Amino acid sequence: SMLTAGQSASGQITGSGLVSGSVIIAVSCTVPPPNTPVPVAGTSVTLGAVSSTSIAYTVATTDGVTHGGHYRYCYQASAAATYADIGALNVVEVLGLQGSTVIVASNTVQHLTVAGRGLPTTGNTAVLWSTACSSPTPVPNSTVAVNTSASGDSAALDVGTNQVAGGVYHLCFTVSGTSAAVDAGSVTVVQVNSVLPWWLPLHPA
């Protein structure tokens, strides 16, 4: 599964003969007893209803604490001495806009950069939006195309702002494979309505 740092998700652990226990997120589950795997900072797994064939769970990560990386779900059944590796959790970290965040509304595509860790190479999306990023839709006349670098540490954005009203907007960034957008920072759009000829007086008599 995949999460953006700061988000949570629910699911089911399936199998047979399952019993209650605990789950942690760690880099590796293979730690000899009596030691236990070290939980990844800012992560938690809460278990819900338990049956012999399924266990409900909710996994949570913390923005600014949980770093992007490839981690494992480690399950310890009650009374068991060791942890079992039951699957992968990939965490993507969106660090925010990098460099200049001021653009001018024009018919020329302009560029912004979002920094991150573990960003997928394709499928990421972004929009400019005027309020919080809980359910973003594009600001009228705006377009944002995302091109992620192969290293996964930055995403280049091609931003179209022709006839976009001037103001401060949120850059809402959605990581490929996840459903919720994160606020990558504020973008200031400057709109110029017209240019007066130099010979026209600014303050006519």
pTM for the model stands at 0.82
Residue 105 and residue 166 in contact, taking contact as beta carbons nearer than 8 Å? yes
Q: Alpha carbon of 183 to those of 42, 95, 123, 133: distances in Å?
A: 19, 10, 17, 6
| Cα dihedral 7/10/12/13 (nearest 10) | 40
Q: Alpha carbon of 74 to those of 33, 47, 53, 83: distances in Å?
A: 14, 13, 17, 6
Q: What pLDDT score was predicted for residue 137?
A: 83
d(CA 129, CA 144): 11
| Closest to 52 (Cα-Cα) out of 81, 79, 78, 15 | 15
Residue 49 and residue 71 in contact, taking contact as beta carbons nearer than 8 Å? no
Q: What pLDDT score was predicted for residue 124?
A: 93
Residue 152 and residue 145 in contact, taking contact as beta carbons nearer than 8 Å? no
| Closest to 115 (Cα-Cα) out of 96, 102, 101 | 96
List the Cα angle 9/15/19 in 5-degree steps.
Answer: 85
Per-residue pLDDT of the chain (205 residues; tens, 9 = 90+): 899 999 999 999 999 999 999 999 999 999 877 788 999 999 999 999 999 999 999 999 999 899 999 999 999 999 898 999 999 999 999 999 999 999 999 889 999 999 999 899 889 999 999 888 988 888 999 999 999 777 789 999 999 999 899 999 999 999 998 888 999 999 999 998 877 777 666 665 5
Q: What pLDDT score was predicted for residue 179?
A: 84
Q: What pLDDT score was predicted for residue 58?
A: 97
Count CA within 13 A, CB hemisphere, residue 89: 35
Residue 88 and residue 2 in contact, taking contact as beta carbons nearer than 8 Å? no
Q: What pLDDT score was predicted for residue 104?
A: 93
